[in-house]
Structure 1
Amino acid sequence: MKYVDSLNQGLHELMAEDATVVLLGEDLVDPYGGAFKVTRGLSSAFPGRVVSTPVSEGAIVGVATGMAIRGFRPIVEIMFGDFLTLCVDQIVNGASKFCWIYRGQVTVPLVIRVPMGGRRGYGPTHSQTLEPLFLSVPGLEIVAPSRYHDPGGLLRRVVLETRQPVLFVENKSLYSQPLVPIDSGVWNDMRVQRHGEADYPTISLSLARDSEVEEVTLVAYGGMADLAIAAARNVFMRDELLVEVLVPSRIKPLPMAEVLKSARRTRRLVVAEESVRTGGWASELGGQATEALFTTLLKPVGRIGALELPIPSSRPLEDQVLPQVSDIETALYQQVS
C-alpha cells in the first residue's frame, strides 16, 4: 500500500465510524480530491461532510476551531504546509490556548494535516518544512509519520483520541511511496523494532547482529528517514560502521526517552531533519540530549539540516540547499573520527 492510500483509507474509516468527523480545506471534493488526492472519494461517500472552502487558511482553521469546541472532530487540510503561516494566529493564540483560557471547560480536538517538504521542484514558497516554527507552542502536538509507520492508522488514532490541536505532518515526497512492512522484525537485512508508546511508536532500524553494538545513534523523521537509512547502510558497507537509526512518529513532545536510551549505549548522536538547520528540531533535540548526557557523549551532537536559503525551483539547486545522504554520511564519520 502506498503512503497516500493509507491516509485515504484511514479517512474513509474515520468518517464511517464517527459522524462528528468532518473535513475542511481547499478543493477537497470529487473529482479533484485534494491537491495530493488524499481525500479522493470522500465527498462522494459522505456528502455534506467534506467542505471545499474559500482560499483563506486563517478562516478555515478558525471555523474548524469553533467546530471542535462545539463537539465536532474537524480535520483541516492545508494545501501546502507553507501556508501555515497564514493561520498562525488561529493556532498559536486560539486553538492551542482555549483549554487553558476557559479553565478546562472546553477541548479543541482539531487535526491540521500539512503536506510539507521539498524534493519536487515546487520552489521557495511550496517546498518548506516549517513544523519547527511550532515547537515552542504549548498545547500543540506534532505527529509526522514516515513510511515505516502506519500513517492512516496514526491519523485515525489522532483524530479519535486527541483533546488538543495536532499538526499532522505529511512529507510530500512520501505520498507515492510504498509503506515498508516491518511486522516480521526484519527488512532489507535490517533488524526492525518498535520502541516508546504503542500509540506513537519510534521505529529502530539497525544492521547490527547478535552481540554487535552500534557506534552511532542517528535520528530522523518523516521523509528524512529514508535518507538516514541509506546513509547508515552506506557507511556500514564501506567501513562496517554500525548505526542505529531511530524514526519517531511524534516529534512534539520530543521522543527523548528512546533517543537517550540509544545514545547512552552508542555515546554518539546525530540528528537529521529537512528544515533549516538553524533553530530547528535537531537543535532542540540535540540540546536536551546534551543536557542529559553531557558526560556520556564522546562528541558534540551532530546536526543535519537545510541551508539557510530559500529553496530553489531548479532541482539541481534544490539538492544543494536540502540535506542529502552524503551530508548524513559525513556527520556519521565525524562522530567516530
Structure 2
Amino acid sequence: MIERVAEHLNRALHDVLAADPSVYVLGEDITDPYGGAFKITKGLSSRFGDRVRSTPISEGAIVGAGAGLALAGDKAIVEIMFADFAGLAFDQLLNFAGKTTAMYGRPVPMPLVVRCPSGGHRGYGPTHSQSPQKHFIGIPGLSVLELTPFHDARLLLEHCFCTRRPSLLFEDKVLYTRRMFRDGVVDELFGFEAVGESPGVARVRLDGVTDYDCTLIVPGGMAHRAIEAMRELLLEHEVLCELLVPAQLYPFDLGGVAPRGRHVCVAEDGSAGGTWGAEVAARLYPALWDRLSRPITLVSAADSVIPAAPHLEREVLVHAETIRLAVLEALA
C-alpha cells in the first residue's frame, strides 16, 4: 500500500493523541469537517474532542497558548497554517518558549511542537510560499526539524517531546502529496538506510558503493529533487552521488555519520544569507578539510520575492536541475 506523506502525518497525529491524553492540538481551522488547510488534522477533533481546538487567527496567541499548556505540564502541537506567518509568533518562540526552559532556577520542560507547512512550487505567491527555516536557526533552547519521506513522523513528534524543549517542525507542502519511502527502497536504482543517533539521518545510496564523487545534504522537502538530480548525474554524466537527509536541522548533528563523497553540496529552498546550509558547511569543514576536493557548494533559492506565476516561480526556487548543474560545475 502506498502511503502519502500527508496520510502518514495524519496517522502519526492520531497515534500520538491516542497514546498520550496530555497532548493537545491547536491551530486555525483544524477541526472537522474542514480538518486543516492541508487536511493533516482530519478526523482528530471528531475522535479526541476538546483536545483538538480551532483558534482565532493570531499566530502569537496560538503559540503562546501552546507554550502555556506545555509549561503547565501538558504537551502541545500547534499548527501554523503557512510557515510564512511563523514570524508573527517570533517573540513567543524566541523570548518565551525558547527561554522558559532556563529562566526559573531549574530546568523546566517545554514539550511544544510548532508545525509549519512551508515552501513553494504551488503558485501561492510571495507570502504563502517561503521557507523561513534560517530565521530560527541558532536560537538557544529551540530545536528545528523538517519532515522527510524517510523518517517516521510519530517518532519525530515523540522525539521532540522527549527533548523537553520547544521544537519547530517544518513540512514542505509539496512533500504532502509524495509517497513515503519504505523498507530501504527508493527506486530501482537507489536504496536508503537510517544511520546516526536519534532522530537520525537517511542515507540514500547505490548498493555496494562506498566511494562517491559527491555527497548531497538536503532537508526533507528537497529529498525528491535531490534524488532526481542524483539519477540524472549517474545516468547522463556517470557522476556517483550519495544523499544525506537529516530530520533535525538545528542543533545540527549528523550523529557521527561522515559524508563519503570527495565533494559536498548542500541544497535548501530558502534564499542565501545566514542559512542552514551555511551552518552545515561551517560544522563539516573542520572534519572534512583534508579530503575535500574543493569548498562545499551551497545551493539556495534566488534573492527574490517568490512570484505566483508558475514560470516566474520556477526561476526563483531550487529544482533538480539546479542541483545537477551545481554539482557538475563543482566537479568540472
Give the TM-score normalised by structure 1.
0.94
Segments of structure 1 that go 5 or more residues without pairing to the other structure are none
Query: Using the alignment, how far apart are the partners of 1:308 and 1:257 within structure 2?
Result: 32
AA aligned opposite 1:206: R
1:281 aligns with 2:283: no
Q: Give CA deviations for 1:16-71 in whole Å, capped at 9, x if unaligned.
A: 11111001110111100111111111111111111111111101111111110111
AA aligned opposite 1:247: V
Do 2:15 and 2:154's aligned partners in 1 also have CA atoms closer than 8 Å?
Answer: no
1:11 Cα deviation after fit: 1.1
**Which SS does the other structure have where 1:71 is aligned?**
coil
Segments of structure 2 that go 5 or more residues without pairing to the other structure are none
Q: Give CA deviations for 1:177-223 in whole Å, capped at 9, x if unaligned.
A: 21111x245642213222111x312111123x435621111101122
Q: Which residue of structure 2 lines up, in the alignment, with residue 33 of structure 1?
A: 35
Do 1:10 and 1:156's aligned partners in 2 also have CA atoms closer than 8 Å?
Answer: no
Query: Using the alignment, how far apart are the partners of 2:255 and 2:108 within structure 1?
Result: 31
Query: Using the alignment, how far apart are the partners of 1:170 and 1:14 within structure 2?
Result: 18
1:314 Cα deviation after fit: 0.6
Do 2:196 and 2:254's aligned partners in 1 also have CA atoms closer than 8 Å?
Answer: no
Change (3 A) 1:47 1:326: same
Q: Which residue of structure 2 lines up, in the alignment, with residue 83 of structure 1?
A: 85
Query: Using the alignment, how far apart are the partners of 1:268 and 1:64 within structure 2?
Result: 42
Query: Using the alignment, how far apart are the partners of 2:118 and 2:295 within structure 1?
Result: 29
How many residue pairs end up in the alignment? Answer: 330
1:105 Cα deviation after fit: 4.5
Do 2:27 and 2:53's aligned partners in 1 also have CA atoms closer than 8 Å?
Answer: yes
1:320 Cα deviation after fit: 0.3
AA aligned opposite 1:36: F
Question: Residues 257-272 of structure 1 correspond to what in structure 2 (within 5 A)?
Answer: 257-258=255-256, 261-262=258-259, 265-272=260-267
Query: Using the alignment, how far apart are the partners of 1:291 and 1:309 within structure 2?
Result: 32
**Which SS does the other structure have where 1:101 is aligned?**
coil
Do 2:126 and 2:308's aligned partners in 1 also have CA atoms closer than 8 Å?
Answer: yes
Query: Using the alignment, how far apart are the partners of 1:184 and 1:293 within structure 2?
Result: 27
Q: Give CA deviations for 1:128-185 in whole Å, capped at 9, x if unaligned.
A: 00011111101111111211222244224434x230100011110011221111x245
Q: Which residue of structure 2 lines up, in the alignment, with residue 334 of structure 1?
A: 329
Backbone CA RMSD of aligned residues: 1.6
**Which SS does the other structure have where 1:175 is aligned?**
helix
Query: Using the alignment, how far apart are the partners of 1:152 and 1:2 within structure 2?
Result: 15
Question: Residues 1-337 of structure 1 correspond to what in structure 2 (within 5 A)?
Answer: 1-159=3-161, 161-181=162-182, 183-184=183-184, 187-197=187-197, 199-207=198-206, 209-210=207-208, 213-258=211-256, 261-262=258-259, 265-337=260-332
1:255 Cα deviation after fit: 2.9
Change (3 A) 1:331 1:64: same
Query: Using the alignment, how far apart are the partners of 1:174 and 1:210 within structure 2?
Result: 29
AA aligned opposite 1:245: L
Do 1:216 and 1:335's aligned partners in 2 also have CA atoms closer than 8 Å?
Answer: no
Do 1:202 and 1:258's aligned partners in 2 also have CA atoms closer than 8 Å?
Answer: no
1:235 Cα deviation after fit: 0.7
Give the TM-score normalised by structure 2.
0.95
